[in-house]
Amino acid sequence: MEIGFLVGSVVKIVAILAWIYGLLWVLGHTSKIVKIVGIILAFAVIQAAFTVNIGATPILSDFDKGLLLQGCAMTMVALGLNLIYGFNGQFSLGQWGFYGIGAYTSADITFRWITGDARGLLVVGFGVILGGLAIFGIGRLLRVVRGVPVLSAFTLYLISGVLAAAIAVWLGNLLNPAFTPLLGALGHPGPMTNGLPLQVVFFISVILAGAFAAEISFLFGLPVLTLGSDYFGIATLGFTIVINTLMNNSDTILPFPEMKGGRGMIGIPKLTTWAWAFFFLVLVIIIMRNVIRSSTGRAILSVREDEIAAKVMGIDVAGTKLQAFVIGCFFAGIAGGVYAHYIGFLSPGAFDFLVGFNPLIIIVFGGVGSMTGTIAAAFGWTFFLEGLLRVFLGQFGTEAPAWRYVVYPIALLLLMLIRPQGLLGTVEWGFLRAKAIALRVKPEQASPTPAPSTPE
Amino acid sequence: MQPANVVQSSAPIPYKPKKRLAWVGQVFLAAMALFIVYTIILNAVKSPSLFIQIILSGLQLGFVYALIALGYTMVYGIVKLINFAHGDVFMVGSFISFYLVSRFNLHQWPAWVFPGMPDGLVVLIGSLTVILVAMIFCVLLAVTIERVAYKPLRDAPRIAALITAIGVSFFLEYFGALGFVFSSRYIPYQRPFDIVAWYINDGIHLITKGVTPPPNSITFSNILIIIFVASVLVQLFLQILVRRTKIGVAMRATSFDKQAARLMGINVDQVISFTFAIGAAFAGLGGVLYAIAYSQIWTLLGVQPGLKAFVAAVLGGIGSIPGAFIGALIMGQAEALTMGFISTPMRDAVAFTILIVVLLIRPTGILGEPEKEKA
């Protein structure tokens, strides 16, 4: 029985790796028609596997579906961290905090929406827009008034951000009554609390969650990115813990009674379907690849390789670091939104700093600085851990979770001893390979992919 | 050989960028500092005895953190590795002492061997034995971890060693949580000696059964004194070890430049093992004292104190031994004051906020040396 399950797990992991390979190959194809048909096919294959039965059970059970959706969220978080750590060399442990921010933000928006309160959407929406405008405006100001120290710039951004938030709360409270007839009350759903409008709100909430996480990361990263590598890591670890503490006290210290503090937020609509998860996954992969292959991406890579050389070449090192950090945290926020609406229940325990090492472990598993490795490792890791738990459940009963974490570190240790550069090293598949731009430049200028060395 | 004045004139003129609006950040920081000082003074004036009581509990916490932080700071100083497993070595130390006391009654051994011994001496020698055995066990554990997990990765990318450290930490926590090892429950800790407490109110009085200290008195216990003495002794011992002995010179040399140290005939591997051993010994000591002071142990015991101690090491300047001590005291005070005057769950948030703010003002910690410019 367990052997059968083990074999089944391995087959599933191999099949998903093959599926990722196919997806990346299709995305990298030159013909637009092949691309579109291929993406639809890639989506449909998995969708079909949920419905087509072999014997009595579908090929991929609901449990596997959950793992797949979790794998999608994990991929997005890990890709964001890979942009920050793998490609830009900033050792960040704060990814999990931004993931948590995204999860709670988007969950709060949709939860309030279905309980007849539009303030979640309005406040976060206005807050993100006004905050973005404020950041943009102050940024323009700081480009005119040069030589402002980081701490002063941070203070200016902070004041403008707080002002924007205050205006957003005021606007939200002002406009909320207009939405009340559309939303109805709890138990009496209005015309806009289900069906297509809810899906649209879900989409907006996930994007807003990403944008909100990105703005927070901008405020946090601006002063903290000036620190050296390990100190930055520790400061971001501190950020994760501060966010976790705030989540634990969201009903007492923060004014969000619906988040229920340490007891966990329940009743989040489970809106994440495979279609949504796939859409966000492909979106993040495409954004990530295009960022890396653009001039911004080359600046990001050059900062990792040598900051001083990059500065000499005229690259704004601090600005580039901030860009990579903000984009990475945007991905984490989106992933949080997808995760919250898949699981339907958010507890601060899921955003603990110990769990927060997972994205780091995944990118090291897959190979630091390899997007393909991260994607493959995120899915493989999710299935591996859950498979391990399933196998041990039959064997050890209630002690299975502890046994899993006894075997998992040993596997980690062996992997680090055998392949310190990660499973895939620097290999990239299909769409993510550097070939696409190498075609456009002259052969003698085409540089091979810079060998990603681990930052000091 | 060039004359001195030529060298001076050819020295590069340092580029000093104009700092506009610098006052904004300074005012922001000053306002925050003023607010904190104001809150502390307000509370101190409101109830001085409560304030001193909180300061004392913060000192107790801070001295335990100092014991753990030494291991973090020394290991980081030498191998540049954040040894996440250190907090779990601390946990193992407290569990070993628990088994020695509860199962084997080791703290009573002088009474078995020398039946006529006075009780005080029995407790003293017995407790010291328990602490020593726990420390030795922690040393063995740490050296094993170093040999098995870290040594093979010394030339690998640093991230590989870091992931391994996280893995070892998970392993110790969850292996300890298995039923036949330590079990995952909270375990009440049996102390090898009794806690004796005094209160200060018109002189020092012993608190005995049935005596409640009058209001506005300050209480303290023997464990606070023991932790204080142990921590200061360890600090002095390390200062002498690092500054005055041969192995200390070797440690400093290895920390400064591993390759050059090897060329000078220093056995770098041995020095690194020794560093891990010293750190683990003090973590074991800290574990026993922590368990005696707070009298409850479980397998995730090491996570929070380990993290706080690590933060303390960073706060004081990682790699600097007195820095770790200062950082740990600040950490303990911050935690105690937050618990006393703001709210208990916010203590982690406040501790890390202090860390982030200090790092922003002094990027390498309070006593840390500025980072070398990448050549």
Q: Which residues of A touch B27 (CB under 8 A)?
A: 155
The residue among A446 and B178 whose pLDDT is bigger is B178
Report the pLDDT value the prediction gives residue B225, as an integer from 0 to 100.
92
Residues A209, A80: Cα–Cα separation, whole Å: 15
| Whether complex ipTM tops 0.95 | no
Answer yes or no: are the C-beta atoms of A263 and A123 closer than 8 Å: no
Q: Which residues of B touch A162 (CB under 8 A)?
A: none
For residue B361, give the nearest of A226, A446, A442, A18 by alpha carbon: A226
Tell me which H or E stretch contains B153: none
Give the torsion through C-alpha atoms of B48, B50, B55, B60, to 10 deg. 150
Q: What is the mean pLDDT of chain B?
A: 87
For chain A, give the percent of residues with pLDDT over 90. Answer: 46
DSSP string, A193-257: SSHHHHHHHHHHHHHHHHHHHHHHHHHHHHHHTTS-HHHHHHHHHHHHHHHHHHHHTTTTTSS-G
Residues A232, B359: Cα–Cα separation, whole Å: 9
Predicted TM-score (pTM) of the model is: 0.89
Q: Which residues of A touch B15 (CB under 8 A)?
A: none
Q: Is A231 on the interface with B (CB under 8 A)?
A: yes
* CA A2 distance to own-chain centroid: 33
Q: Which residues of A touch B364 (CB under 8 A)?
A: 228, 231
> Per mean pLDDT, which range of A429-433, B112-116, B165-169 is the poorest?
A429-433
Report, as an integer, the average pLDDT of A22-47: 88
Residues A38, A25: Cα–Cα separation, whole Å: 9
Please, which pLDDT band fits residue A375 given cuts at 50, 70 and 90?
very high
Q: How far apart are the first and last CA of chain A?
A: 47
Please, which pLDDT band fits residue B94 given cuts at 50, 70 and 90?
very high
Report, as an integer, the average pLDDT of A174-195: 75
C-beta contacts of A407-415 below 8 A and 24+ residues apart: A408/B167, A408/B170, A409/B167, A409/B168, A409/B170, A409/B171, A409/B174, A410/B167, A410/B171, A412/A361, A412/B163, A412/B164, A412/B166, A412/B167, A413/B149, A413/B164, A413/B167, A413/B168, A413/B171, A415/A365
Range of the domain at A418: 61-116+193-438
Residues A205, A119: Cα–Cα separation, whole Å: 12
| A2: in domain | no
With CB atoms and an 8 Å threshold, state whether A412 touches B167.
yes
For chain B, give the percent of residues with pLDDT over 90. Answer: 43
Nearest-by-Cβ selection for B345 from A158, A248, A357: A248
Inform me whether the pLDDT recorded for A301 exceeds 70: yes
Please, which pLDDT band fits residue A440 given cuts at 50, 70 and 90?
very low
Domain count, chain A: 1
Report the pLDDT value the prediction gives residue B375, as an integer from 0 to 100.
40
Residue B296: beta bridge partners? B188
Q: Indicate which CATH number applies to the domain containing A198.
A: 1.10.3470
With CB atoms and an 8 Å threshold, state whether B20 touches A148.
yes
Q: Is A312 on the interface with B (CB under 8 A)?
A: no
SS3 B207: strand
With CB atoms and an 8 Å threshold, state whether A421 touches B157.
yes
Q: Which residues of B touch A223 (CB under 8 A)?
A: 360
Chain A residue with Cα closest to B317: A231
| A319: in domain | yes
Answer yes or no: are the C-beta atoms of A225 and A321 closer than 8 Å: yes
Residues A378, A365: Cα–Cα separation, whole Å: 9
Tell me which H or E stretch contains A302: helix A295-305
- What domains lie within chain B, and their CATH numbers? 54-192+223-361 (1.10.3470)
Q: Which residues of B touch A305 (CB under 8 A)?
A: none
Within 10 A of B347 (CB to CB), how many other CB atoms are there? 21
With CB atoms and an 8 Å threshold, state whether B163 touches A361.
yes
Report the pLDDT value the prediction gives residue A174, as an integer from 0 to 100.
92
Enumerate residues 6+ apart whose C-beta is below 8 A from A137.
Answer: A160
Q: What angle do CA A187, A193, A196 make, to 5 degrees?
A: 145
| A88: in domain | yes
With CB atoms and an 8 Å threshold, state whether A409 touches B167.
yes
| A216: in domain | yes
**Residue A151, min C-alpha distance to chain B (Å):** 5
**Residue B158, min C-alpha distance to chain A (Å):** 7
Report the pLDDT value the prediction gives residue A122, as an integer from 0 to 100.
92
Interface test with A, best of B360, B364, B374 (most A CBs within 10 A): B360
Chain A residue with Cα closest to B361: A151
Please, which pLDDT band fits residue A400 given cuts at 50, 70 and 90?
confident
Answer yes or no: are the C-beta atoms of A89 and A371 closer than 8 Å: no
Q: Which residues of A touch B166 (CB under 8 A)?
A: 357, 360-361, 412
Considering A48-62, A439-453, B119-133, the range whose residues carry the highest mean pLDDT is: B119-133
Residues A84, A90: Cα–Cα separation, whole Å: 6
Inform me whether the pLDDT recorded for B11 exceeds 80: no
Nearest-by-Cβ selection for B371 from A223, A228, A238: A228
Q: Return the amino acid letter for B129.
A: T
Nearest-by-Cβ selection for B345 from A155, A245, A364: A245
Q: Which residues of A touch B20 (CB under 8 A)?
A: 145-148
Please, which pLDDT band fits residue B181 given cuts at 50, 70 and 90?
confident
Nearest-by-Cβ selection for A364 from B149, B160, B346: B160
Report the pLDDT value the prediction gives residue B374, as an integer from 0 to 100.
43
Report the pLDDT value the prediction gives residue A10, as an integer from 0 to 100.
83
| A41: in domain | no
Question: Tens of pLDDT along A111-143?
Answer: 988 888 888 899 999 999 999 999 999 999 988
With CB atoms and an 8 Å threshold, state whether A148 touches B360.
no
Largest CA distance in chain A: 71
A-B Cβ pairs (cutoff 8 Å, strict): 172
Please, which pLDDT band fits residue A452 given cuts at 50, 70 and 90?
low
Report the pLDDT value the prediction gives residue A1, as an integer from 0 to 100.
53
Answer yes or no: are the C-beta atoms of A192 and A134 closer than 8 Å: no
| A68: in domain | yes
| A450: in domain | no
Report, as an integer, the average pLDDT of A216-231: 89
| A342: in domain | yes
Token code pair at residue A8: 């089944």
Question: Tens of pLDDT along B22-53?
Answer: 888 889 889 988 998 998 899 889 888 889 99
Residues 394-433 on A with a CB inside 8 Å of B are: 399, 401-406, 408-410, 412-413, 416-417, 420-421
Nearest-by-Cβ selection for B363 from A227, A306, A357: A227
With CB atoms and an 8 Å threshold, state whether B164 touches A146.
no
Q: Which residues of A touch B175 (CB under 8 A)?
A: 402, 406
Interface test with A, best of B182, B311, B359, B364 (most A CBs within 10 A): B359
SS3 A421: coil
